[in-house]
Structure formats: structure tokens, C-alpha cells
Copies of this chain bind each other. A is one copy, B any other.
């Protein structure tokens, strides 16, 4: 349920600006932003302007990119500058990337020089990399400090920082030496040197590392943030846990969509324009229509067999469907296991052997289930054709489903492109050839 609907249910009148303003003032910034996202930009602006500067900045940071963009157009320039100066550096850089040249030109002169440089630097990194999601709001400490001096230094830096729970220890050239937890600083006696409190050889990621990798490391090592270093080993930013959880969720959604050959729909399914939904889905559907022509061609070859035994057609959807189903199962397990890092390229041969065994068991079970039905609808010959085809189709379907994600991964495609519909279509063609070949061999 959207924030708007929830509030309407609570009896909040959307035309009563005073009531709305009171709600926004009391709400968590996340919920306030969810409301403003659903209003007209002018109404959102008026509500935003009625808040304290802190709350304004926080709410603005949680708004959808589209809403931020719309507000950037209609907010007073001085107010926009004020809000942007206070934003987290990563959110700010994202906003900058969405603005037009004119808007940027209007905004930038109002900002301090350090902020302008920070924005340009952060905004320059390629989408999908550590650089694109990192923030520069982290605290650093020199190796020569004591615990007391370090706390004093953090106290000075803290108001601007997204987190000071872990501070990064750097040398004179900003090379990353290690990190120290605020908890450790507070517990230590005041004169302890940082060098004694620091955890050395901190976990870090490179600027150009894919964001899924970064998220996986944050999840694996249970850390609040991970430092980002450039090719010279200098600390240039950190990626925080809240960005990691967003990446994990977005990645899973993207893979899920791809796997149903539905394209990756970045925005909400509820709000995406009809044409976007059409465009994302039609490409694969038409590709699959043409791929299916091979099934048709396969059937055409066996037209004589079919004309002689029309009963065979009755089992056709079952045979080809079963190959596709077993194939999608195999593919799903592999796509997700590759995505979470549970299996890797090297495991392929072991997994192939295991899948062969599992598929053989599945195929035999399904053949046993279907044999009596073949006998009931046809005769002993049909039963034999159907059950033999079932074993082979399930075996081959599983192998295709299991192997295709690996092949795609090896070719540096996303394994999730080995979608269920694609595998079902390949399994169809293969199933038809197997089924009617066996039928022709046995029945004629």
C-alpha cells in the first residue's frame, strides 16, 4: 500500500494542507518522502518548505529521482543550494547526474568549492560500480594520534559524516592503512596510540568493482561499510550497508525479471508506463516466436508419422512441456547459485555429473507415471514411445537448463539470460525431434 493510500485510509484529507503538513512534520523522513513522491510537485514543494532545514534535507534525500528532479526545477535557487549542501555526498552526486546542463549551471555556483569538486568527482564514476554508489562522508585519522586526540578529531568532523562508527587510518598520501572502531576508541585509555587500536589490512574494494561484488562482500563480512581505493591504493570513499541491501534487493529483482524474459524494469511495475512494459516484454516474445518456428519445422518433417498416428499428438504437449519444466528447474538453481556466489565456473563438471544423476531419476519416475496413460489412450507401442521419450527429454532438458547459465557466464553474459521461456523453447524443439524420431523408429 502506498503512503498516500494508507493516509487516505486513516482519514487524512489530501486537500487539507495543514493536516498534511502536520503529518510530514511528525513522520519519519522515509514516510514523508513516500507521501511527497505521490503529490503534484507544487504541493510537494509547499509541504517541504514548511519543514525545518534538517527535516527538509533528510526528506529530499529519500525522494525518488524523478521527484527530486521536478523539485529542482521549481524550488527557489537559494533553497535548493541550501538543501544540496546538506545532502549525503552519494545522494547529491546521483541528483547531479539527473540534472540538465542548465540546472547544473544554476546550482553549482552557490556551492562551496570543496562541495563542487566532491560532486564532480563522485558523479564521474560509471553506473553499477563501487565508485557510483560510494560516499565521501567518512572520517579519517592519522596514525600518529592517540585515542583521545582521535575522539576529538571525530567530534570535529562528525556533523558532516554519514558514519563515524568506523574511522579509516591513512598515511600522508591517503593510502589506506587500516581502520579503527569508535567503540575501541571509547574503551581504550586516552593515551593509547591509534596504531595499537587499529585493525590492519582493512577489507577494501576497487573503484571499478561491480556493485554486486561490493554488496556481496559487505554481506559476507558483516561490516557496516567497506572502503573504496583507487589504483594507487588511496582511500577515495566508502560504500555503506544501506546501499548494499538496496543492491542485493535490486539485483534479485533484475535476475528474476530477466529469468522470465521480461527485461529488467527499473521502476515500479505499478507506475511504469504501459509502453515501457510492452517494450521490455515484446522483444523476447517475438524472438521466441521465431525460435518456435524450428519446432514447427521439426513437426513438418514428421507429418506422415502424425497423419498415421494422430494419438501421438495427444502426448506432445506433455513430452515437450516436461522437458521444459525440468530444464527451467535446473536453470533456476544454477542462475541463482551463480548470482549468490554459491557455485562458480570451476564447479561445472561436478554439478554436471550430479545433474545427470538427478535428471535420470526424475526422468524414470515421470516415465513410470506416464506409461499407463500411454497404454490407456493408445497401445503398448504408444506407451513405450511416450515413456522412452520422457526419460530422454527430461535428461536432455535438464542438461540444457543446467549448462546454459554456465555457458553464458563463461561468455561474459548474465546467466539470468538463460530464461525459463528460452529454455522451454529450446526444449520444445529438442522434445519434438526426440519424440517423433522414437515414434517413427518404434511404430513403423
Q: Which residues of chain B have C-beta atoms less than 8 A from A421's C-beta?
A: 321, 324-325, 328-329, 420
State the majority secondary structure of interface residues on A. helix
User: How many chain copies?
Assistant: 2
Q: Is A432 an interface residue (CB 8 A)?
A: yes
Q: Mask for A292-327, Cβ within 8 A of B = 1, else 0?
A: 110110011001001100110111111011101110
Tell me if B221 and A28 are in contact (CB < 8 A).
Answer: yes
| Complex Cα–Cα for A244 and B354 (A) | 32
Tell me if B424 and A321 are in contact (CB < 8 A).
Answer: yes
Tell me if B154 and A186 are in contact (CB < 8 A).
Answer: yes
CB distance from A383 to the nearest CB of B (A): 14
Tell me if A351 and B282 are in contact (CB < 8 A).
Answer: no
Q: Which residues of chain B have C-beta atoms less than 8 A from A197's C-beta?
A: none
Q: Is A268 an interface residue (CB 8 A)?
A: yes
Nearest residue (CB) in B for A223 is B242
Q: Which residues of chain B have C-beta atoms less than 8 A from A289's C-beta?
A: 318, 322, 366, 369-370
Q: Which residues of chain B have C-beta atoms less than 8 A from A334's C-beta?
A: 269
Q: Which residues of chain B have C-beta atoms less than 8 A from A28's C-beta?
A: 203, 221
Q: Which residues of chain B have C-beta atoms less than 8 A from A137's C-beta?
A: none
Partner of A300, one of B155, B326, B377: B377
Q: Which residues of chain B have C-beta atoms less than 8 A from A252's C-beta?
A: 248-249, 252-253, 256, 336
Contacts A186-B154, A428-B321; is A313 near B299 (CB within 8 Å)? yes
| Complex Cα–Cα for A372 and B81 (A) | 60
| Complex Cα–Cα for A229 and B127 (A) | 40
| Complex Cα–Cα for A183 and B224 (A) | 15
Q: Is A214 an interface residue (CB 8 A)?
A: no
Which among A245, A270, A314, A320 has the greatest number of chain B C-beta atoms within 10 A?
Answer: A245
Total residues of chain A contacting the partner, CB 8 A:
111
Tell me if A245 and B241 are in contact (CB < 8 A).
Answer: yes
CB distance from A415 to the nearest CB of B (A): 12
Q: Which residues of chain B have C-beta atoms less than 8 A from A158's C-beta?
A: 183, 186-187
| Complex Cα–Cα for A337 and B293 (A) | 33
Tell me if A260 and B329 are in contact (CB < 8 A).
Answer: yes
Tell me if B300 and A220 are in contact (CB < 8 A).
Answer: no
Q: Which residues of chain B have C-beta atoms less than 8 A from A277's C-beta?
A: 333, 354, 358
Q: Is A191 an interface residue (CB 8 A)?
A: no
Tell me if A274 and B329 are in contact (CB < 8 A).
Answer: no
Tell me if B296 and A377 are in contact (CB < 8 A).
Answer: yes
Q: Which residues of chain B have C-beta atoms less than 8 A from A311's C-beta?
A: 303
Tell me if B269 and A358 are in contact (CB < 8 A).
Answer: no
Q: Which residues of chain B have C-beta atoms less than 8 A from A164's C-beta?
A: 183
Contacts A245-B248, A320-B317, A350-B270; is A369 near B219 (CB within 8 Å)? no
| Complex Cα–Cα for A325 and B422 (A) | 9
State which of A47-55, A68-76, A340-348 sits at the interface with chain B.
A340-348
Tell me if B365 and A282 are in contact (CB < 8 A).
Answer: yes
Tell me if B186 and A274 are in contact (CB < 8 A).
Answer: no
Besides the contacts A155-B186, A284-B325, A317-B428, what 16 more A-B pairs have beta carbons closer than 8 Å?
Answer: A28-B203, A182-B186, A186-B186, A245-B248, A256-B336, A257-B332, A260-B331, A269-B337, A274-B357, A289-B322, A289-B369, A293-B318, A295-B318, A300-B377, A303-B313, A329-B421
A-B contact pairs, 7 of them (CB 8 A): A1-B346, A182-B183, A277-B358, A293-B373, A316-B316, A317-B432, A321-B425
The 4 closest A-B pairs by CB, nearest first: A252-B252, A260-B332, A222-B242, A295-B317
